[in-house]
Chain A
Amino acid sequence: MDILNLTAVSLGEKIKAKEVSVKEATKACLGQIEKQDKTLNSFITVEPEKALEQAEKVQQKIDAGELTGPLAGVPVAVKDNMLVKGGLTTCASHILDHFHPAFSSTAVEKLQAAGAVILGKTNMDEFAMGSTTETSYFGPTRNPWNTEHVPGGSSGGSCAAVASGEAIYALGSDTGGSIRQPSSFCGVTGIKPTYGTVSRYGLVAYGSSLDQIGPIAKDVRDCATVLETIAGYDPKDSTSVKRDDYGFTKALTGSAKGLRIGIPEEYFGEGLDPEVKKSILDAAEALKAQGAEVSYFHLPLVEYAIPAYYIIACAEASSNLERFDGVKYGYRTKEYEGLHNMYKKTRSEGFGAEVKRRIILGSFVLSSGYYDAYYLKALRVKALIKKAFDEAFEKYDVILAPASPTTAPKLGESLSDPIQMYLGDIYTISVNLCGLPGITVPCGMDSKGLPIGVQFIGNVFREDHILQAGYAYEQTRTMEICPLCR
Chain B
Amino acid sequence: MAKEYETVIGLEVHVELATKTKIFCGCSTAFGGAPNTHTCPVCTGMPGSLPVLNKKVLEYAVAVGLATNCDITRYSKFDRKNYFYPDNPQNYQISQLYLPICRNGHVDIDTAGGKKQIRIHEIHMEEDAGKLIHDEWNDTSLVDYNRSGVPLIEIVSEPDMRSADEVIAYLEKLRMTIQYLGASDCKLNEGSMRADVNLSVREVGSQKLGTRTEMKNINSFKAIQHAIEGERQRQIEELEEGREVIQETRRWDDNKESSRPMRSKEDAQDYRYFPDPDLTPIVISDEFLAKIKSQEPEMQDAKIARYQKEFDLPEYDAQIITSVKKMADFFEDTVALGANPKKVSNWLMGETMRLQKEKGMDQDQIPFSPENLASLIALTEDGSINSSVAKEVFEQVFADDVDPKQYVEEHGLKSMNDEGALRGIVEEKIAANPKAVEDYRGGKKKAIGAIVGQVMKETKGKADPGTVNKLIKEILG
**A residues lining the B interface (CB < 8 Å):** 82-83, 89, 91, 96, 99, 101-103, 105, 200-205, 207-209, 235-239, 315-316, 318-319, 322-325, 327-329, 339, 343, 363, 366-368, 371, 375
Contact = CB atoms under 8 A, between A and B. Distances in A.
Nearest to A324: B47
Nearest to A235: B52
B89 A238 contact: no
B272 A319 contact: yes
A354 B50 CA distance: 25
A2 B367 CA distance: 79
Nearest to A312: B277
Contacts of A237: 50, 52
B92 A102 contact: no
A238 B48 contact: no
Contacts of A101: 46-48
Interface of B: 41, 44-53, 80, 82, 84, 86, 89-92, 141, 143, 270, 272-274, 277-280
A237 B84 CA distance: 25
A101 B41 CA distance: 9
B275 to A, nearest CB: 9
B52 A327 contact: no
A186 to B, nearest CB: 26
B84 A238 contact: no
B48 A201 contact: yes
Contact of B277 (A203, A208, A329, A363): A208
Contact of A238 (B50, B86, B90, B274): B50
Closest 4 CB pairs of A and B: A322-B91, A366-B272, A208-B277, A209-B277
B278 A323 contact: no
23 contacts: A83-B48, A91-B47, A102-B41, A103-B48, A201-B48, A201-B50, A205-B47, A205-B278, A207-B277, A208-B278, A236-B52, A238-B53, A239-B278, A239-B279, A318-B82, A322-B82, A323-B45, A325-B86, A327-B86, A363-B272, A366-B82, A371-B272, A375-B274
B96 to A, nearest CB: 15
B337 to A, nearest CB: 45
A339 B49 CA distance: 25
B436 to A, nearest CB: 80
A316 B276 CA distance: 8
Which of A91, A96, A200, A328 lies at the interface centre, i.e. has the most chain B CB atoms within 10 A of its CB? A328
A102 B46 contact: yes
Contact of B80 (A83, A319, A367, A375): A319
Contacts of B48: 82-83, 89, 101, 103, 105, 201-205
B274 A323 contact: no
Contact of B274 (A202, A204, A371): A371
Interface centre among B48, B50, B92 (most CB of A within 10 A): B48
A105 B52 CA distance: 16
B86 A339 contact: yes
Nearest to A199: B50
Contacts of B273: 366, 371
A318 B273 CA distance: 12
Contacts of B141: 339
Contacts of B84: 322, 325, 343
A382 to B, nearest CB: 12
Nearest to A241: B280
Nearest to A327: B86
A99 B47 CA distance: 10
Contacts of B92: 319, 322
Contact of A103 (B41, B277, B279): B41
Nearest to A196: B280
Contacts of A343: 84
Given A208-B278, A238-B280, A327 B82 contact: no
Given A236-B50, A238-B53, A328-B44, 20 more contacts: A89-B48, A102-B41, A103-B41, A103-B46, A200-B50, A203-B48, A205-B48, A237-B50, A238-B52, A319-B80, A319-B274, A322-B82, A322-B90, A323-B91, A325-B86, A327-B143, A329-B46, A339-B86, A366-B82, A367-B272
Contacts of A205: 47-48, 278
B99 to A, nearest CB: 14
A106 to B, nearest CB: 10
Nearest to A103: B41
B330 to A, nearest CB: 40
B89 A323 contact: yes
B89 A328 contact: yes
B279 A238 contact: yes
A205 B51 CA distance: 13
Nearest to B47: A204
A316 B50 contact: no
Contacts of A82: 48
A105 B48 CA distance: 7
B277 A316 contact: yes
A363 B83 CA distance: 11
A329 B145 CA distance: 14
A101 B40 CA distance: 12
A203 B141 CA distance: 30
Contacts of A204: 47-48
B278 to A, nearest CB: 5
A73 B270 CA distance: 52
B45 A328 contact: yes
A54 B278 CA distance: 33
A72 B287 CA distance: 46
Nearest to B24: A238
